[in-house]
Copies of this chain bind each other. A is one copy, B any other.
Amino acid sequence: MRLGVCYYPEQWPREQWASDARRMRELGIRLVRIAEFAWARMEPTPGQFEWAWLDDAIATLAAEGLKVVLGTPTAAPPAWLVQQHPDVLPVDAHGRTKAFGSRRHYCFSSEAFHAASERIVTAMAQRYGQHPAVVAWQTDNEYGCHDTVLSYSPAALAGFRRWLAQRYGSIHALNAAWGTAFWSLQANSFDDIGFPVGQPTGALPTHALDFRRFASDEVLRYNRMQVRVLREHAPGRDVLHNFMGMFGEFDHHAMGADLDVAAWDNYPLGFTDTAPFISEADRLSWARTGHPDISAFHHDLYRGICKGRWWVMEQQAGPVNWAHWNAMPLPGMVRTWTWEAFAHGAEVVSYFRWRQLPYAQEQMHSGLHTPDDVRDLGGEEAAQVARELAALPDDAVLASATAPVALVFDYSAKWMTDIVPQGADMSYFGQVFGAYSALRQLGLDVDLVGPDAPLDAYRMVVVTGLTHLTPALSARLQALSAVVVLGPRTGSKTEHLGLSSQRAGAAPLGSAMHLPITAVDSMRPGLQLPVVGVSGDELGQPLGHGHQWRDLAQLPADSAARVLARYEDGYPAWVQQGRWFRQCGMVDAPLQARWFTEAARLADLPVVNLPAGLRLRRRGDWLFAVHRGPDHVQVPAPAGTSFVLGDARIGPAQVAMWHAP
């Protein structure tokens, strides 16, 4: 559990560096990320490198005992590269070439860009790969930020056609997989294939999906090139990428296989302000704290990307500049966000940035210090965390942050849902986040795991919105003894984004949970229908209501399943078959909590009903409580507990930590 900071020496006078380094050490910083975005400083003209400044910067940091994370600067291609190779620039969905002048102005399919990137990354890695202070490398910066995964350039089109030829072997196979019998869309050769945009109405879903897969693969191919160079010249160093929150345009699990550490950039207020699946009411309630689950969701997601190793590479340290509104965090939140990350297992929390820059695009993005070099609120809270870390008992939280509940997350399910939403407010991120939040509200710790992750260690597995349930995952679920909750849309699509057989719902699970879905019911906001009980006093009585989405299920006569709740019009809403539960649609929060409670009970997992804004997280023998709500609350610790952090009663923006073996 170390603290880090993001630092851009090229933006400050050299005479300030030594003081900066000294004060970093004094504040408790151990790791400093530098060099990302500094391409034009390292290679001011093609092929001619200037290392002196960077040599100095690293030496200055190392002199204070600080470790360095070097970022490759490829997110900021210099002007000369664009002048030399205009085809480096990406092209938008309307065919307009994007312009030089901000960042990420490159097309992942541009071979000129690959070549130039390999040259600068090789040169950096040759020079600093074995530097003792350089302990880790970050490739590029936030792949995909600003909608930059998809490019519609000639190079991308040629690459897409090659990718399709390789995937399908023959145009006949492509026609079969895409279903081009519809609307006379038969392709006679791969050269008939264009981009899935600009048609009078939507393109073939499989066409669109394959383009998303291709684009994701292009990001992986590009990153793999950088990783290969770094592994060759910087052996033994951690290679990581700093992923961005709420971003799913490429397959993070696939990229994670190439990396040592999954880092991510944690801006809780910005995400709360802009995440499309957060309600306006929640944006207001949590404007100064971040939604109680928005950071933790990502912590638990990124922990699953690289076998448990993960960092927060950029931690919001004050107001940011890029959301619609950029509120001041509630005093205490910078500290609390930091501890929350450690509670979920972060190895490093690195603040963005050492000092606010008084010019350029991020001039309103605060850091640990004001532009005038005064320690800002965030800096004070970071220093407090450093002191608290130093004071921790020796045995505190060495354990990994595994959880008893797994929630499956699959990037291709996001693409499929985007392409065939069927209801204008359907969102895969939103659906999984909703399930996550409901579980966390019950005090349950959750691992967000990829579709190929091992599941044996879990007592309960939740799979929701996972449009395509692979035979492999289906088989692994059937081999478990865990309680499994299957949510709406799960298993509804084939690998090619067609309908599953019998719109199968749980059908790919064979007889384990035999509940065919014959149709779906997509409901506009405000349209709802009661869910009613089926037995005892609850027979016909409303338990809550469904909205937004229903899988319309038909329990076959020979089914071993049992309907536990129905919609008012008779369709099953909540079904159990042994250790399997099937939830057929979206429901209101109390009913969702009730159903997850039923599943948790069967899994022998205790649940609580946490007050608004309070969240718990166990790490080994230690328990953390993190609070965002407006009121003071009691944490669920036995009387007499002695607290390492906080107290039995904590207020807004406070945290507590205690030993709970």
Interface status of A101 (Cβ within 8 A of chain B): yes
Near B by CB (< 8 A), chain A positions 346-360 give: 356-360
> Does A521 lie within 8 Å of B328, measured CB to CB?
yes
Known: A83-B192, A325-B523, A360-B205. A183 touches B287 (CB 8 A): no
Quick check: which of A88-96, A132-140, A218-226, A633-641 contacts chain B, the rest being far away? A88-96
> Does B519 lie within 8 Å of A324, measured CB to CB?
no
Residues of B within 8 A of A205 (CB): 359-361, 363
Known: A40-B184, A95-B96, A518-B374. A102 touches B326 (CB 8 A): no
CB distance from A457 to the nearest CB of B (A): 36
Interface status of A186 (Cβ within 8 A of chain B): yes
Near B by CB (< 8 A), chain A positions 82-113 give: 83, 90, 94-105
Closest to A80 in B: B188
Residues of B within 8 A of A182 (CB): 11, 37, 357, 359-362
> Does B38 lie within 8 Å of A324, measured CB to CB?
no
Residues of B within 8 A of A76 (CB): 183-185
A76–B182 alpha-carbon span in the complex (Å): 9
Near B by CB (< 8 A), chain A positions 557-578 give: 569
CB distance from A520 to the nearest CB of B (A): 7
Of the candidates B101, B283, B377, which one forms a contact with A194 in the assembled complex, judged by CB atoms under 8 Å apart? B101
Total interface residues on A, CB under 8 Å, equals: 113
> Does A360 lie within 8 Å of B40, measured CB to CB?
no
Interface status of A237 (Cβ within 8 A of chain B): no
> Does B183 lie within 8 Å of A360, measured CB to CB?
yes
Residues of B within 8 A of A73 (CB): 184
Residues of B within 8 A of A97 (CB): 198
Interface status of A318 (Cβ within 8 A of chain B): yes
Near B by CB (< 8 A), chain A positions 153-210 give: 178-188, 192, 194-207
Interface status of A498 (Cβ within 8 A of chain B): yes
Residues of B within 8 A of A98 (CB): 198-200
Interface status of A644 (Cβ within 8 A of chain B): no
Interface status of A273 (Cβ within 8 A of chain B): yes
* A41, A45, A73, A520: most-surrounded residue (chain B CB, <10 A): A520
> Does B287 lie within 8 Å of A328, measured CB to CB?
no
> Does B200 lie within 8 Å of A103, measured CB to CB?
yes
Q: Please, what's the 1-or-0 string for A492-512, where 1 marks a CB less than 8 Å from any CB in chain B?
A: 001011110111000000000
A194–B100 alpha-carbon span in the complex (Å): 8
CB distance from A282 to the nearest CB of B (A): 12
Of the candidates B185, B318, B364, B377, which one forms a contact with A40 in the assembled complex, judged by CB atoms under 8 Å apart? B185
CB distance from A106 to the nearest CB of B (A): 9
Quick check: which of A15-23, A420-428, A537-545, A600-608 contacts chain B, the rest being far away? A420-428
CB distance from A105 to the nearest CB of B (A): 6
Residues of B within 8 A of A318 (CB): 519
Of the candidates B45, B79, B195, B361, which one forms a contact with A192 in the assembled complex, judged by CB atoms under 8 Å apart? B79
> Does A37 lie within 8 Å of B200, measured CB to CB?
no
CB distance from A11 to the nearest CB of B (A): 5
Closest to A40 in B: B184
* A94, A147, A202, A319: most-surrounded residue (chain B CB, <10 A): A202
> Does B41 lie within 8 Å of A420, measured CB to CB?
no
Interface status of A366 (Cβ within 8 A of chain B): yes
> Does A372 lie within 8 Å of B502, measured CB to CB?
yes
Of the candidates B80, B186, B496, B519, which one forms a contact with A319 in the assembled complex, judged by CB atoms under 8 Å apart? B519
> Does A361 lie within 8 Å of B524, measured CB to CB?
no
* A207, A358, A501: most-surrounded residue (chain B CB, <10 A): A358
Interface status of A527 (Cβ within 8 A of chain B): yes
A318–B503 alpha-carbon span in the complex (Å): 15
Interface status of A284 (Cβ within 8 A of chain B): yes
Known: A146-B200, A199-B102, A204-B360. A324 touches B424 (CB 8 A): yes
* A77, A363, A550, A569: most-surrounded residue (chain B CB, <10 A): A363
CB distance from A528 to the nearest CB of B (A): 10
> Does A420 lie within 8 Å of B283, measured CB to CB?
no
Residues of B within 8 A of A188 (CB): 45, 79-80
> Does A319 lie within 8 Å of B360, measured CB to CB?
no
Interface status of A148 (Cβ within 8 A of chain B): yes
> Does B499 lie within 8 Å of A321, measured CB to CB?
no
Interface status of A129 (Cβ within 8 A of chain B): no
CB distance from A367 to the nearest CB of B (A): 11
Can you give 14 A-B contacts (C-beta < 8 A)?
A: A40-B184, A45-B188, A80-B188, A98-B199, A101-B194, A104-B200, A179-B359, A182-B360, A203-B361, A287-B523, A319-B519, A324-B423, A359-B499, A370-B519
Q: What are the nearest 4 A-B pairs in CB distance?
A: A179-B359, A182-B360, A359-B498, A40-B184
**Other than the known A73-B184, A99-B203, A104-B201, what 19 A-B pairs have Cβ atoms closer than 8 Å?**
A37-B183, A41-B184, A41-B186, A76-B185, A100-B199, A101-B185, A101-B198, A101-B204, A178-B359, A179-B360, A205-B359, A205-B360, A205-B361, A324-B524, A326-B522, A327-B521, A328-B520, A359-B497, A376-B519
